[in-house]
């Protein structure tokens, strides 16, 4: 009897994983008419539920002045800390982000930042907090789509959610995939200041029964400047022990924004 019970559990787990993988591999799922409330509910239900992430990424950075490709170690304790290390033969930078602080240093120019989220605002052109940054990296909406009444249209085979009442200073749009209900794209647009942030998710993978972005393209535009950051996930582990220790080397000069 015990064998039958354990076998049944294995079958359920296997078929659940297989069903998710079939969804990921399906290119024929068509977005059919659905209420905004239901789309929002399904998107929130797809939220990432692992405790930690330990990933290796390939990254490309371009802001018009600097264009560079490098490897990134990405570690996260969900809702607690995001840790990044960029390398190209040597360590290029390290960063540690918590709900209350942003710490960063560059080994190339011997400079560091130790402060609030103003550094990320300068880079992305929009206010962003820890939870929003975490969601951005996980394929979830920067804002809780269940907190406000949404409207929905179908565009490019995605359910595009937007608040019925947009914010005074900017408009937000969330394109939800009809197969797994993670995001295909999210945008924050400030037409008055000619600023926009677009985050695209060209593909996802199923790892340990979790749907995780395998590519992320971040495009930030402001008058006279832009920042493009592309990530490709090479490997990822969940729910392992991750080291997020961080210390600023002596002799580095502080960056003041």
pLDDT of residue 167: 77
Mean pLDDT over residues 15-40, rounded? 71
pLDDT of residue 233: 98
* Number of structural domains found in the chain: 1
Confidence of residue 2 (pLDDT cuts 50, 70, 90): very low
Q: Enter the DSSP assignment of 182.
A: S
Task: Tell me the residue range of the domain where 111 lies.
Answer: 2-254
Looking at every residue in the chain, the average pLDDT score rounds to 89
Confidence of residue 24 (pLDDT cuts 50, 70, 90): low
Mean pLDDT over residues 244-256, rounded? 95
φ, ψ of residue 146 in degrees (nearest 5) = -95, -10
Task: Name the least confident of 24-28, 117-121, 141-145, 225-229.
Answer: 24-28
For 167-221, what is each residue's pLDDT tens digit?
Answer: 777 899 999 999 999 999 999 999 888 999 999 999 999 999 999 999 999 999 9
Q: Angle 108-114-115 (CA atoms, 0-180°, nearest 5)? A: 140
pLDDT of residue 256: 84
pLDDT of residue 15: 40
pLDDT of residue 257: 73
CA distance 141 to 185: 9
Residue with tokens 């985050």: 199
**How many Cβ atoms from other residues are within 10 Å of residue 32's Cβ?**
8
CA distance 61 to 154: 32
CA distance 58 to 69: 7
CA distance 23 to 193: 39
For 128-150, what is each residue's pLDDT tens digit?
Answer: 899 999 999 999 999 999 988 99
pLDDT of residue 115: 92
- CATH number of the domain that residue 63 is part of: 2.50.20.10
Find residue 115's DSSP bridge partners: 102
| pTM score, whole prediction | 0.86
* Cβ 207 vs Cβ 238: under 8 Å: yes
* Pair type for strands 210-213 and 204-207: antiparallel
């Amino acid at each position: 009897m015990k064998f039958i019970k354990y076998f049944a559990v294995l079958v359920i787990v296997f078929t659940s994983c297989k069903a998710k993988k079939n969804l990921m591999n399906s290119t024929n799922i068509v977005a059919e008419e659905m209420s905004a409330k239901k789309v929002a509910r399904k998107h929130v239900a797809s939220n990432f539920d692992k405790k930690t992430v330990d990933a290796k990424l390939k990254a490309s950075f371009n802001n018009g002045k600097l264009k560079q490709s490098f490897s990134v170690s990405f570690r996260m304790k969900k809702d607690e800390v995001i840790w990044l290390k960029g390398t190209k033969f040597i360590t290029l930078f390290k960063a540690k982000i918590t709900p209350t602080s942003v710490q960063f240093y560059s080994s190339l120019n011997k400079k560091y930042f130790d402060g609030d989220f103003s550094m990320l605002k300068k880079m992305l052109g929009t206010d962003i907090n820890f939870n929003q940054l975490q969601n951005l990296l996980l394929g979830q909406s920067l804002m809780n789509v269940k907190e406000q009444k949404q409207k929905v249209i179908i565009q490019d085979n995605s359910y595009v959610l937007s608040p019925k009442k947009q914010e005074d200073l900017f408009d937000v749009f969330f394109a939800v995939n009809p197969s797994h209900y993670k995001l295909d794209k999210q945008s924050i647009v400030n037409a008055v200041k000619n600023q926009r942030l677009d985050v695209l998710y060209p593909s996802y993978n199923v790892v340990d029964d979790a749907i995780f972005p395998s590519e992320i393209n971040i495009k930030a535009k402001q008058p006279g400047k832009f920042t493009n950051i592309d990530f490709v996930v090479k490997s990822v582990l969940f729910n392992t022990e991750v080291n997020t220790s961080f210390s600023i080397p002596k002799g580095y000069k502080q960056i003041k924004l």
